[in-house]
Amino acid sequence: MTHDPTSSAGERALDPALQADLEELLAAPPEPTRRPTVPALEDALFRLVPVLDHGFVRVVDYMGDDAAIVQAARVSYGRGTRSVRNDRGLIRYLMRHRHTTPLEMCEIKLHVKLPIFVARQWIRHRTANVNEYSARYSILDREVYLPRPEHVAVQSSTNRQGRGDTLSDEQAAAVIELLRRDATQAYGTYEQLINDTGDGTPVDPSAPQVARELARVNLTLNTYTQWYWKIDLHNLLHFLALRIDAHAQYEIRVYGEAIGSLVKAWVPMAWEAFEDYRLGGAFLSREELGIVRQALAGGDLDPLIDGSSLSGREKRALRDRLAVESA
């Protein structure tokens, strides 16, 4: 048996049982329901949105829509306010003033396949319900993430968490080959330790069968795992605000972008407000707001920033937000 976890790059391999279940769900006629549904998200249900080389995101279930946000917000006002507070305007008001409770009325459940190192970043958002594939019980897929050459870069000199300039094609190819070699060797050892054809029968009857919970310990962090992830809209938007930011690691940012496209189809009015007030907006501290006010009153912005008590990083960030360059 060959041990190459990278041989099917670009494919979305599913467990045969899951594949059969997916095909059955997609072929089934829609279920009648009295609850609100969103046609655009109904069309996306169960379908894989490819991410990275072997990963994906798919919607398993959801609850609520833009109207559910409005309904929850209007509990305080009553039906008599509907004529003067249109749905879009109310949602924008909620987003603008950070009234988040009505957004919690909407929930979504996703099935995600992702590299373990991405999962370790993702799980820091402790506001969701998560059930991950168990490598104590099941055998992990023979798949790992390998970056594309344009995403292989040196350590950033200004950001300890990020990447700097990309490597040359030759250097990137050498790095990718090292990752491929290590992953292939590690998965080969994993298979050898498990010594299982998949139904409990040893591949090599003369060799020991090591418990799956122990056999997994040498696997590389770019090995793929899977989980079901359920979260309300308020906490999901907070997740996305951080993870689709340009400073987020590329490998988690592409998952955020895939999920964002689904959220846009699900709650388009809430997504529009989120883009305007969170993604495209800017938060200013008291001192930063004072600088902007002085500049609007006729002051010279650059000296105002330089003469402030802001730290060097804060000054750079303010200039970035205001799209101004240092003189």
SS3 60: strand
Note the pLDDT of residue 82. Answer: 54
Residues of the chain with pLDDT under 70: 1-14, 76-85, 156-162, 327
The per-residue pLDDT for range 280-309, each reduced to its tens digit, is 998 999 999 999 999 999 989 999 999 999
Which residue is it, tokens 């700097």?
164
Q: Are strands 129-132 and 153-155 parallel, antiparallel or unpaired?
A: unpaired
**Domain parsing of the chain, residue ranges:** 16-279, 286-322
Annotated active-site positions, please? Answer: 243
Note the pLDDT of residue 197. Answer: 82
Do the Cβ atoms of 312 and 291 come closer than 8 Å? Answer: no
Which run of H or E residues covers position 68?
Answer: helix 66-73
Do the Cβ atoms of 226 and 118 come closer than 8 Å? Answer: no
- Residue 313 tokens read as 């990083």
Note the pLDDT of residue 165. Answer: 76
Note the pLDDT of residue 76. Answer: 62
Note the pLDDT of residue 84. Answer: 39
Q: Are strands 129-132 and 49-51 parallel, antiparallel or unpaired?
A: unpaired
Do the Cβ atoms of 189 and 181 come closer than 8 Å? Answer: no
Note the pLDDT of residue 158. Answer: 65
- Does the pTM exceed 0.75? yes
Q: Residues near 231 by Cβ (< 8 Å), separated by ≥ 6?
A: 107, 108, 127, 128, 129, 239
Note the pLDDT of residue 141. Answer: 86
The per-residue pLDDT for range 245-254, each reduced to its tens digit, is 988 999 999 9
Note the pLDDT of residue 12. Answer: 61
Note the pLDDT of residue 79. Answer: 54
- Quote helix, strand, coil % in the chain, to nearest 5: 45, 15, 40
Note the pLDDT of residue 136. Answer: 85
- The third-level CATH classification (topology) of the domain covering 16-279 is Gyrase A; domain 2 (3.30.1360)
